[in-house]
Structures are given as C-alpha cells and as structure tokens.
Amino acid sequence: MSSTSRLPELVCPAGSLPALKAAVDNGADTVYLGLKNDTNARNFAGLNFDAKTASAGLAYARKRGRKVLMAINTFAQAGQSARWQRAVDEAAELGVDAVILADTGLLAYAARRHPGLRLHLSVQGSATNYEAINLAHELFGIQRAVLPRVLTLAQVRHVIEHTEVEIETFGFGSLCVMVEGRCLLSSYATGESPNSHGVCSPAKFVRWEESPAGTDARLGCILIDQYGRDEPAGYPTLCKGRFEVNGVTDYALEEPTSLNVSEMLPQLIELGVAAIKVEGRQRSPAYVAQVTRALREALDAAGRDGARYSVKPAWRDALARVSEGQQVTLGAYSRPWK
C-alpha cells in the first residue's frame, strides 16, 4: 500500500431519518439521501426526505462532523424539467455537501445556477472511462464520479490514473445486469421505468399465488419463480427469477447475491479510490447499521494493517446475513479468466 494513500470515505445510504442516524452512529463518513419525489431513483412510499427531515438530518450529521449528499439522480421527463431544477435549488438552499446528478441538462443547470455547489456524477450517468468523466468535469465542473459496477480493478486503476476527478466505487449491495437503473426487463413487465418509479418491482405489480405445490411469484402477468411449500419465497425481481431454459430450471440471468469488496479493501485504498459506497436507500435502518458497522471496522483495519489485513469472520457473517440469497461476490472487480 502506498504511504500516500488516503482512507476512502465510507458513503452510506439514508432512506429515512432513522437510517441516516444509524449510518452516522455506526461510522459512515458521508450519507446520501433523496427527496420525496421522482427526482431520486428510490422514490418509495414512506421513504425519503422533505425539507424538515432533510434539515434535521443535516444538523445531526454536521454536529458529528459527517457529510450529506443529495441524490437527484433520475432523468428529467420531457416538459417537466422545472421539477428537477427545483430539487437542485432545494439542495443548494439546504446546504448539502454535494448533489449526485446523472442528467446532463440538470448538470448544466446546477453548474450555471449554483456555481458553488459541489457536483458528483451519478452511477446512472454510466461513465465507465476517463474520457467521459473528464468531459463532464470540463463541461460542468464535476468533482467526483461514481463508477458503474462493471469495471475490473485494473480498469478502475486506469480511470484514476487519467483523471483529476475523485472516483467513488461501490463496496456493498445489490448488483444489476442492466445499465445502472435503466432496466428494460422491468419496464417491459410493468410499463414503468425503475429509474423514475423507484424500484425494479413496484409493489402494485407483485403477486404471490398459492398452489398445491407451493407459491408462485409474479411480476405483472409474468411468472418469475415457483417456491416449494417449505421454501422461503423471495421478493420477485425479474432478472433474479428462475426460468426453464432448454429443460433446465435455474437463475437464467442473475443469481441473488450481493457485491461485497471487504476482502479487497487494501487494493482499493492503494488505487486511490476516494470513496466506497454502500447501496440500499430502500433498506431498513437495521440493515444500514449492520453494514456500516462492519465496513467501518474493515476499512479502518485495511488502512491500518495493509498487507497483513484479513477479513474477520464477524464482518463476513454480518454482511452475509443481509446479502441477497445470503451470498456475496466480488462482481466485476475480480475476473481471473480475463
């Protein structure tokens, strides 16, 4: 590990004020949140922040020396850009430490209207190379870019070596086989885009139907999975369903599993990654607390121990318990076959 490497920020999700407090209390350096509307990609009923709760969250975090980011990371709908612009204005008025944006028109508006507001390029901006990141920096003055979860460590290094923009990578949470947040499978099944409706499987389209053999899980009219009578039935997500292909029933697109980079934290630190992000604004405060606590301890140990670092069983178990399918993966970061 380089002696000049800084410990990356631990950036954790806050889908509610209790979740924000859980992240801060368990060691997050930074939390990210969204407003109660479709300007953020986790527009769930009962979650997110209005002006009052956002102000309370900012005060709670600031009192403890932590940062707050606001995700305005969906794409403005035609003829409705004023609503997204108002969200940027509200973020600036609240005094958040940065806004996370994907829409280039909105990036241009924020840079012009609020030149002192720090801008981060969202993972939904799909910038997978340094040319795209440098262009966004040149045009809009972005200071950080969140990389999509499709790059190897070598590719992350290549990006970092060719840009002055800070690079944030995902460290834990759900994976996606689509271009981040723009799932055509879910859009096809429900007629609603996950980007603007906040979830891959909107609750109003979810059906569980009992049968003599067990439980059928459907999204809209599409059968996603069949569970035996004693088999736990998961929440139906189209890409993580079991389908029959050539006579074999299995996870045809993606098996339920969560990204977990705890074992490669020393490598990420050595690369010069500025921040490590936890996915999960739709998750509970208990999830946020458990993941933040484990990663805080692991990140501190990686910074302290360097080559002697190893993942403690307690961290591994804590993260596995809240992983999809109770399974974890290094995802695209590790591709030994390449």
CATH number of the structural domain spanning residue 66:
3.20.20.70
How many residues belong to the chain?
A: 338
Question: How is residue 220 annotated by DSSP?
Answer: T
Six token digits for residue 43: 């527009």
104 plus 165 within the same structural domain:
yes
The pLDDT assigned to 249 comes to: 86
User: Would strands 67-72 and 30-33 be described as parallel, antiparallel, or unpaired?
Assistant: parallel
* Domain housing 190: 184-251
Same domain, yes or no: 239 and 309: no
Residue 34 maps to a domain: yes
Q: Do residues 190 and 246 share a domain?
A: yes
DSSP string, 278-328: E--TTS-HHHHHHHHHHHHHHHHHHHHHGGG----HHHHHHHHHTSGGG-E
E strands present in 212-281: 214-219, 222-228, 242-245, 248-251, 258-260, 275-278
Task: Kindly state the DSSP code that residue 329 receives in the 8-state scheme.
Answer: E
Residue 194 belongs to what H/E stretch? helix 194-197
Residue at 3 is within a domain: no
Q: The pTM is what?
A: 0.91
Residues 23 and 101 placed together within one structural domain of the fold: yes
131-176 per-position pLDDT tens digit: 999 999 999 999 999 999 889 999 999 999 999 999 999 999 988 7
119 and 48 part of one domain: yes
Q: Which CA distances in Å does 27 have to 66, 119, 323?
A: 9, 24, 20
CB 200 within 8 Å of CB 224: no
Same domain, 247 and 105: no
Boundary-marking domain end, from 223, 251, 279: 251
* In a domain? residue 4: no
Query: Is 262 part of a structural domain of the chain?
Result: yes
103 domain-assigned? yes
312 and 227 inside one domain = no
Give the residue from 220, 251, 282 where a domain finishes. Answer: 251
Q: How many domains is the chain built from?
A: 2
* Whether 85 and 142 share a structural domain: yes
Give the whole-angstrom CA distance, residue 57 versus residue 290.
19
Q: Please check whether residues 44 and 77 belong to one and the same domain.
A: yes
Per-residue tens of pLDDT for the chain, all 338 residues: 343 468 999 999 999 999 999 999 999 999 999 999 999 988 888 899 999 999 999 999 999 999 999 999 999 988 999 999 999 999 999 999 999 999 999 999 999 999 999 999 999 999 999 999 999 999 999 999 999 988 999 999 999 999 999 999 999 998 877 767 667 788 888 888 777 777 778 888 888 888 888 899 988 888 888 888 888 777 778 888 888 889 888 888 887 888 999 999 999 999 999 999 999 998 999 999 999 999 999 999 999 999 899 999 999 999 999 987 777 887 877 766 55
Q: Is residue 132 part of a domain?
A: yes
User: Do both 226 and 280 map to the same domain?
Assistant: no
Same domain, 150 and 111: yes
